[in-house]
Amino acid sequence: MFLSTNKCQGLGKCIKECPTEAIRLINNKAFSCITCGVCYRECPNHAIYKNKYGGYVVDRAKCNGCGVCQFNCPIGSIKISEDGRVKGICSRCGRCVDSCGINARVDGFDLIKDKQLNYLKSLDAILPSYNTHCPSKTKEVSRLSVVTKYEDCTLCGRCQYYCPTDAIKLNVDKAGSICNHCNVCEDVCPTGAMKDRIINYDYCSLCLNCLKSCPNDAIFIDNYKLTINQLNQKNEGSIISCINCQLCVDKSNTESFKLMDNKLRYDPQKDIDTFKNFNQAIESCPTSSLHINNNSIVINNILKENFLEGYCTMCGNCVKVCPNKARVYETVTWNGKANDKCISCGTCVEVCPKDIIILKKEGIEVNLDECILCETCAVYCPTDAIKKSTLAKKIVIDGFNDVDSKLCIYCKLCLDICKEDAIVDNGDSVSVDDDKCIKCGACKNICPSNAFIFDRNFVNKNQTLGCLNGKSN
């Protein structure tokens, strides 16, 4: 909630600027909705919802003006206008803070818990149970992972080939059947006939082991002679692997997958229904590395039709085989901050699997006490404002954004927050310039009247690129 300090002189600028009329003067001090959520919980039509700023918004399409919210408001802030509109509920847009010329309005989220409680007690009102925001005790969250030093990686694919759980995926911008310089052919040659992708035909036994093992099908045979299809060009693309965030364990529904000594461990013998057990975990995987292998295997003399793959066991095999030492163990850290690229769009709040991010106009606030550093927020962030250790990236492939003119109250908050200049001011209403809109959602989140009709679909950024093994992520 937003509070007025002793500096307040009752000038009323915040009252004029509040788009939902949630501020009034009491004893010549500005006093506003405390965002306790009673109206949200008591509404029989589910016409009030909590937005990503922690405020509450009325969906006028669902509201029938019954007055239950007004009756239950503990501080008498809510009122219903003659045209049936519900007023007096704070959406936490922050306009009151910006409008106050003497800095007398402050964000209650920025105060410590004790000050908030003391303030509420001073109201002498019968208040509901109030869950106050409390800053994290943890200042930095960390996670041990095997990461790629991208400046040293040549995208040769050795790590992918030797990963026992298929947890590493390469997207190489190159046609198929061309050598990637992984040197797997040299590893598997039993006679030592292959050296730096040059074949010594005097030693070659034509066992075809290199041809069968080549991950990119770049070795050919013609008239009893092997050749390697090579191009003298640098590999371009990306490498994405499991980051060992362990979110998949939280999202799985089975005893066959768990942490042992803080490492991911899978027992296929205990996995009775792989699709049912891991469907949610696969959908939640921030790097999209987790997947089901449908090639049957024999477990304890029993044929199992599918099993889980794509999780890092921290075995270190990729570290050992990398010729450029580009795969390394590293402790990844994050202080919960976004950089200056943050546009307060709220995408991170929407996708966070732990529901621990609070959106504020000046950025985000993260409960690091509960954060597992899964990097989901960073993977989805449209402006790369959040630190991440992976090249995994989700982008909007399609969607729509429009304004319902019947619901718009022309507060122009969307105009202020849009960094792309995609909101058009029509004089008495606003509309969306679809050519400029990036579907970030900032306008929808800040709108106090739920006037935006908004939806979008995400895909992996590298989904359309060919992988080393001919598959796509």
pLDDT in tens, 51-85: 888 899 998 889 999 999 999 999 999 999 988 88
Kindly report the CATH class assigned to 2-121.
Answer: alpha beta
Q: Which DSSP string corresponds to 322-365? A: -TT--EEEEEEEE-S-B-TT-----HHHHH-TT--EEEETTEEE
Main-chain dihedrals φ then ψ at residue 64, nearest 5 degrees: -115, 10
Residue 177 pLDDT grade (very low, low, confident, very high; cuts 50, 70, 90) = confident
With CA atoms as reference, report the closest residue to 97 among 107, 110, 111.
Answer: 107
Q: Specify the fold of 175-232.
A: Alpha-Beta Plaits (3.30.70)
pLDDT at position 137 over 70: yes
Per-residue confidence (pLDDT) for residue 115, from 0 to 100: 55
Beta bridge partners of 452: 403
Kindly report the CATH class assigned to 394-460.
Answer: alpha beta
Q: Using an 8 Å Cβ cutoff, are 347 and 380 in contact?
A: yes
With CA atoms as reference, report the closest residue to 422 among 445, 446, 392, 442.
Answer: 442
With CA atoms as reference, report the closest residue to 357 among 39, 37, 51.
Answer: 51
Residue 4, Cβ density class (10 Å: 0-12 exposed, 13-18 middle, ≥19 buried): buried
With CA atoms as reference, report the closest residue to 351 among 446, 441, 419, 413.
Answer: 441
Cα gap 434→443, rounded to integer Å: 13
CB neighbours of residue 414 within 10 Å: 23
Cβ neighbours of residue 110 closer than 8 Å, sequence gap 6 or more:
none
pTM (predicted TM-score): 0.81
Per-residue confidence (pLDDT) for residue 469, from 0 to 100: 40
Q: Using an 8 Å Cβ cutoff, are 228 and 181 in contact?
A: no
The pairing of beta strand 105-107 with beta strand 2-4: antiparallel
Three-state secondary structure call for residue 100 = coil
Domain with CATH 3.30.70.20 in the chain: 2-121, 143-173+236-392, 175-232, 394-460
Per-residue confidence (pLDDT) for residue 122, from 0 to 100: 59
Cα gap 379→391, rounded to integer Å: 8
Beta bridge partners of 125: none
- Give the tens place of pLDDT for each residue, 343-371: 989 999 999 999 999 888 778 999 999 99
Rounded mean pLDDT, 294-306: 94
Measured in whole angstroms, the distance separating CA 436 from the mean position of its chain's CA atoms is: 23
Main-chain dihedrals φ then ψ at residue 451, nearest 5 degrees: -90, -10
Residues, the chain: 473
The answer for 400, left when phi > 0, alpha when psi is -120 to 50, beta otherwise, is: beta
Cβ neighbours of residue 106 closer than 8 Å, sequence gap 6 or more:
2, 3, 4, 5, 97
Per-residue confidence (pLDDT) for residue 120, from 0 to 100: 55
Cα gap 225→209, rounded to integer Å: 13
What is the DSSP-derived secondary structure letter of residue 274? Answer: H
Per-residue confidence (pLDDT) for residue 172, from 0 to 100: 86
With CA atoms as reference, report the closest residue to 72 among 100, 109, 33.
Answer: 33
Q: Mean pLDDT lowest for which of 16-25, 121-130, 151-160, 396-405?
A: 121-130
The single residue listed with the structure tokens 């004893």 is 27
Biggest CA-to-CA distance, the chain: 99
pLDDT at position 311 over 80: yes
Rounded mean pLDDT, 313-341: 96
pLDDT at position 124 over 70: no
Right CATH number for 143-173+236-392 from 3.30.420.40, 3.40.50.300, 3.30.70.20, 3.65.10.10? 3.30.70.20
Cα gap 122→246, rounded to integer Å: 44
pLDDT at position 465 over 70: no
Per-residue confidence (pLDDT) for residue 9, from 0 to 100: 92
Q: What is the 3-state secondary structure (H, E, C) of 94-148?
A: CHHHHHCCCCCEEEHHHCCHHHHHHHHHCCCCCCCCCCCCCCCCCCCEEEEEEEE
**57: enclosing H helix or E strand:** strand 56-58
Cβ neighbours of residue 364 closer than 8 Å, sequence gap 6 or more:
336, 337, 338, 342, 344, 348, 349, 357, 358
Per-residue confidence (pLDDT) for residue 371, from 0 to 100: 96
Amino acid making up residue 345: C
Rounded mean pLDDT, 160-187: 91
Residue 118 pLDDT grade (very low, low, confident, very high; cuts 50, 70, 90) = low
Average model confidence (pLDDT) for the chain?
89
